[in-house]
């Protein structure tokens, strides 16, 4: 019985080194094709999220203006959508249901009123946090759609 067991073990074959290398190469090639597509989809999702959040902030700012008669100043900032800034009589907020969102790269949105492109400007500098850039680093603004 022991003899048969030993013979069975010696007859069984595992994977050769060449077979393992071929499998690793195939997995590497597949990852090389799939991973860049996944990264591009994530980049697109962050840009869409930033645009949607800027639209949401714009709607809240418009509601603030309807109540108060003006947009918040740059000094009052976007925080005035959640907390009453000073002694404004007709403030009827909060104008956002949740806390003020950060951009998809965990940086605060920049707000200026009066803006250079309209009554207010809202922008995110993208992934790099610096003006300009391409792809994931490009600026997302309230005045460009």
pLDDT in tens, the chain (145 residues): 555 555 555 555 677 888 889 889 988 888 888 777 767 778 888 889 999 999 999 999 999 999 999 999 999 999 999 999 888 889 998 999 999 999 999 999 999 999 999 999 999 998 888 898 887 788 999 998 6
Helix (H), strand (E), coil (C) string for the chain: CHHHHHHHHHHCCCCCHHHHHHHHHHHHHHHHHHHHHHHHHHHHHHHHHHHHHHHHHHHHHHHHHHHHCCCCCCCCCHHHHCCCCCCCCCCCCCCCCCCCCECCCCCECEEECCCCCCCCEEEECCCCCCCCCCHHHCCEECCCC
- Identify the pLDDT of residue 72: 95
120 C-beta neighbours (distance < 10 Å), count: 23
- Identify the pLDDT of residue 60: 95
Residues 6+ apart with CB under 8 A from 69: 90
Q: How far apart are CA 84 and CA 40, in angstroms?
A: 40
How far is the CA of 47 from the CAs of 58, 64, 137, in angstroms? 17, 26, 10
Among 74, 59, 50, smallest CA distance to 124 is for 50
- Identify the pLDDT of residue 4: 52
Show the domains of the chain with their CATH numbers. 49-141 (3.30.700.10)
């Amino acid at each position: 019985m022991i003899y048969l067991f030993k013979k069975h073990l010696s007859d069984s074959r595992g994977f050769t080194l060449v077979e393992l290398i071929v499998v690793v190469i195939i997995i590497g090639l597949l990852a090389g094709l799939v991973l860049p597509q996944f990264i591009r989809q994530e980049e697109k999702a962050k840009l869409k999220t930033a645009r949607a959040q800027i639209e949401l902030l714009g709607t809240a700012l418009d509601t603030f203006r309807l109540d108060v008669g003006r947009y918040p100043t740059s000094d009052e900032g976007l925080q005035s959508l959640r907390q009453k800034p000073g002694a404004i009589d007709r403030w009827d907020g909060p104008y956002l249901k949740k806390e003020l969102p950060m951009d998809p790269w965990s940086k605060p949105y920049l707000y200026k009123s009066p803006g250079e492109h309209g009554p207010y400007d809202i922008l995110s500098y993208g992934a790099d946090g610096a003006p300009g850039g391409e792809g994931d680093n490009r600026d997302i603004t309230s005045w460009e759609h």
